Amino acid sequence: MTRDGFEALAQAYGGDMARWPQDHWDEAALFAAQQPDLAAGVLAAAARLDEALDAWAPLAVSHGLREAVVAAAPAPRVRRGLTAWIWRAGAGAGLAAACAAGLMVGVMLSEAVTPVSADETVSASLANYDDLTGLVNGEGA
């Protein structure tokens, strides 16, 4: 294990090596045995940070302050007029259903109108080829 790896584990998991992942215990113990002064300093710094974090507690909010914040919150808007009636009557769901039905009918009709096979596509595109040839050659329509 390198010095950077040991420091990264201490920063991530704290100054107590028992909280480190088990697959790093042997490597960390070997590193601590090889460089005891460096390991002790890194673990002590991580332990101080652990103590500071454990000592932190969120501030308590008084009941009066909480009630004042809730009372100052804006009231919900009341919808009036046609838009409120439409949404209360469920027209939004009806509009969504109508859009879905229109999409479904469009997909179904597109298969009935367009040629399905390649042969039909070619014959549909060449059906009026003779008429166009006559126009190009100067013959009347």
39-57 pLDDT, tens digit each: 999 999 999 999 999 998 8
Which residues in 104-117 are b (16+ Cβ under 10 Å) and which e?
A: eeeeeeeeeeeeee
- pTM given for the model: 0.42
Phi, psi of 80 (to 5 degrees): -135, 160
Closest CA to 1 of 23, 28, 38, 19: 28
Angle separating helix axes 25-34 and 36-55, nearest 10 degrees: 120
Banded pLDDT at 109 (limits 50, 70, 90): confident
